[in-house]
Structure 1
């Protein structure tokens, strides 16, 4: 019997999860713990210091607190001794960055900076750096910077360099005090191993780093701000390592806290969605992995680099060494449904759900399933949290067309599901229209539990969709990183490809498109595409005008 294990640490938006995984892929135990402060978007913790529009922060103390809880829990749940664990892998939301001192202490934990918002970690969905992202793109286009083509022609306000530039411009004292500006995943690996290591996945997809070339030039960075020219040397300077690489051994201090032996291999971190692609078994070209949760990330592998408009990134060795990894995504999916349940469902529906012993999501899904495609007369644009692919614009906002006095909550709920499905089809067509083949769809994440949603996605895309055999693909992918960092001599693997082949889940279900529904959705999708052009691609979009009015009134 295989008695060698690895631990995958999966750091999400609201919580972190640990998976204890055998090196043959069997998940022996899981444990999850919520962050005490969750997403910080109104006031700093324990403070009346209000945050501005589009801010989203986190508390790094939460990341360590949950770590000390979940690792001992999985060991105890499985009855596994710490000595049987050979490696630890980490996946993390991105781009989630924090400024630290030279020894890795987050600035927000120092009394001098606790009341300063820019000293806190900026969560991936922090969009307040949009002005910096806009200027970044304008300057890059004007200068003809070649790196921009690898990111669909635009960088996002979610990414490292615009966020770092916002610190420099809006809180220069914080920028001066920060010896490092680092991804949350890299910071966690630093804490565990005592070694600062940057991961090529996050550096490539979120910081414009390229294998063989590095980060954007100092000349370009100086064109954004004279002091920004040295940001790479001063704030980012550290070795960048590929997925599956060994970062260092677990420190004695953390070994004692977690119940593991000192020196256990710690792998370099990876973006959560990309780790999910590994866990789903996305290891060959043409397979589109969809990690579906609060947002949706789309991962695709190719043998060659194709510079596709609106694609969030194409990075050599970005997911699997030896292949080009493509990333696209939708900035809001599950978050949109949660918003509607919280703010759009009437009390009578809440009462009915409570009396039936189901969640409000389940009630709305059941009612929406009785509706035929197109029956509601509604059509929505899924931009509640901006548009990531293909427009790369966090300033865009959501719209629902076709309301009447007879519109019911379940009709709106279904229209929102359909809108996110249209958004995924737009992502697929963005790939295929520019020569990047998509031959197979595989999905994972919490949203795959919703059968109505998955069937709508199959009908809208008119493609079969497989559901990965585990709902914990991201954590499983992280466990693969730990197994590869450990190496075969310790009972792990010498390549990430070998780890994927041995540990990835197999599909558990498949949704086939219905021809009749697909025909109706073809008509609706053409209308959706027209609305994307009218409201998303035009500089004079009323959505942008409305947003500017809102910001000026705050």
Structure 2
């Protein structure tokens, strides 16, 4: 394969940093991975270190560019989780932790400490909340900032010089520019952007919630220069960062994206035979620790419990709606790892992943019980999957997981059934989000695209297709998030005429998994149980609060 240009994509996920060397045709040629540290000092608190994250980025980038002609590296793009990074007036890490350790200066996206602050903000019913599904999430940045001001005013708030969404921190480290991404600010910081060109911080919102001091000095602490995703940041790599990374100074750096949005960018241009390729007909699932659901529309669609609509947050000129499940991959791991049979299974796996082992066991179990499809094995076993609260469409962080149909059996077949019921429940969560989007105005969604860790699980993919009764497209290039970041680098280098051309040119081709019509009606019934489990849990809460 002839490569005319290389682009680097860097993805900072919840547990690791990954960097990829990507060709101008969208082929990932080399990947490097390095784990990052997370602290959990108390319940619902999750913290990281910006210095640890950056040093991991450096190590991964240096590895993927080793041995290549640096003249052919035309651009670099970054994505990361929507975590809050706090720095002092000198740009050094400033603790966000009750421990006072400055190394712990990042509040991770999944940190739920700001529940009271989110409730306070939501009671105000400010107009900006219409762009986050009617309720702000405690995973977003203004509740977390309000928590810092309330609980660590002397230790952190009064010493704060800059605060970034993690993707913007990375471009700052790379270039020295304090610019911010429209994606991060619109999606997680309540920055307002409209199709008529009006955009800016909503002063009345920051005043009423008690964060008006963040708008002082032309909003320097939180951002005054706002750029669209893929726009070149500053003057490219600074001398210092280029030396660190082993790249040429001035190498273009694209304005960043949140990791899920980078996955959406990498997914949405994937072509598949017989499937409509128009952006607004597709729902992208970016599956990892959690799952994000990305849909774009030429006009704004307001859906209850769904974040957005966000103008130009992922694709210029289109409105983005973002649903999500707070725990999916992490939930499946939790179900498996906490089961008594798991330890014995792991001793005999060899190179086989435990989820594939359980999928094989389900096939054997279906034959043994003379069941036509493995789906039917969970007829009397049902899971409500919100072990870490509901992000969409209920938007209730206080919901909790539930399992109906437990027995005293603890063998590996029992684990396999729980695993299957959990995979189905996660898929019903997607259907719940999709139905909310459809009922709110997304009438043209005709396919699902999927990437991330769970996209490597055939059972999960087939279950998604069966539950929503739509074809699922699996890109041949499986690392869509890294591809999305590389597309940002290509855009910064002006390698393509515009970002939409870059998406289609680098998006590649995918395999289609069609729904199995023999099980659609079964899942329709189980989905009714799924919704009833939500009603029941809310009823239990009502009874206990009487």
TM-score, normalised to structure 2, is 0.90
Task: Pick which of 509-518 and 285-294 moved more.
Answer: 509-518
| 1:449 corresponds to | 456
Paired with 1:150 and 1:311, the residues of 2 have a C-alpha distance of 9
Retained in 2: the 8 A contact 1:198–1:240?
A: yes
TM-fit CA distance, 1:216: 5.5
- Where 2:48 maps in the other structure, the secondary structure is coil
TM-fit CA distance, 1:116: 4.8
Check 1:378–1:125 CA distance in 2 against 1; reply closer, same or farther (3 A cut). same
TM-fit CA distance, 1:364: 1.9
2:183 to 184, 187, 201: 201
| 1:548 corresponds to | none
Structure 1: stretches of 5+ with no match in the other structure? 42-50, 546-554
TM-fit CA distance, 1:351: 5.4
| 1:63 corresponds to | 53
TM-fit CA distance, 1:98: 1.5
Paired with 1:5 and 1:309, the residues of 2 have a C-alpha distance of 42
Check 1:501–1:161 CA distance in 2 against 1; reply closer, same or farther (3 A cut). same
Retained in 1: the 8 A contact 2:450–2:474?
A: yes
| 1:26 corresponds to | 27
Map 1:473-552 onto structure 2 (within 5 A).
Answer: 473-487=480-494, 492-507=495-510, 509-536=511-538, 540=542
| 2:370 corresponds to | none
TM-fit CA distance, 1:130: 1.0
1:401-439 deviations in Å (ceiling 9; x for gaps): 111234711111111111101000101101001111322
TM-fit CA distance, 1:214: 4.3
Retained in 2: the 8 A contact 1:448–1:467?
A: yes
Q: How many residues align?
A: 515
2:284 to 286, 289, 295: 289
Retained in 2: the 8 A contact 1:300–1:326?
A: yes
Q: Does 1:187 align with 2:169?
A: yes
TM-fit CA distance, 1:348: 6.3
| 2:4 corresponds to | 3
TM-score, normalised to structure 1, is 0.88
Paired with 1:527 and 1:303, the residues of 2 have a C-alpha distance of 35
TM-fit CA distance, 1:463: 1.4
TM-fit CA distance, 1:217: 3.2
TM-fit CA distance, 1:494: 3.6
1:240 to 205, 209, 226: 226
1:436 to 442, 462, 465: 442
- Where 2:348 maps in the other structure, the secondary structure is helix
| 2:14 corresponds to | 13
- Where 1:90 maps in the other structure, the secondary structure is strand
Map 1:323-362 onto structure 2 (within 5 A).
Answer: 323-346=318-341, 349-350=344-345, 353-354=348-349, 357-362=351-356
| 2:92 corresponds to | 105
Paired with 1:347 and 1:435, the residues of 2 have a C-alpha distance of 44
1:35-73 deviations in Å (ceiling 9; x for gaps): 1x2x211xxxxxxxxx23211111112212212211121
Q: Does 1:277 align with 2:264?
A: yes
Check 1:342–1:406 CA distance in 2 against 1; reply closer, same or farther (3 A cut). closer
* RMSD value, Cα: 2.2
TM-fit CA distance, 1:236: 1.1
Check 1:127–1:358 CA distance in 2 against 1; reply closer, same or farther (3 A cut). same
Paired with 1:367 and 1:231, the residues of 2 have a C-alpha distance of 55
- Where 2:172 maps in the other structure, the secondary structure is helix
| 1:363 corresponds to | 357
Paired with 1:527 and 1:117, the residues of 2 have a C-alpha distance of 47
| 2:143 corresponds to | 162
Check 1:485–1:538 CA distance in 2 against 1; reply closer, same or farther (3 A cut). farther
Check 1:60–1:300 CA distance in 2 against 1; reply closer, same or farther (3 A cut). same
| 1:44 corresponds to | none
Structure 2: stretches of 5+ with no match in the other structure? 270-277, 367-373
| 2:273 corresponds to | none
Map 1:332-411 onto structure 2 (within 5 A).
Answer: 332-346=327-341, 349-350=344-345, 353-354=348-349, 357-369=351-363, 370-371=365-366, 372-376=374-378, 377-406=380-409, 408-411=414-417
Paired with 1:532 and 1:113, the residues of 2 have a C-alpha distance of 35
TM-fit CA distance, 1:367: 1.9
Paired with 1:292 and 1:286, the residues of 2 have a C-alpha distance of 19
| 2:110 corresponds to | 125
Check 1:444–1:118 CA distance in 2 against 1; reply closer, same or farther (3 A cut). same
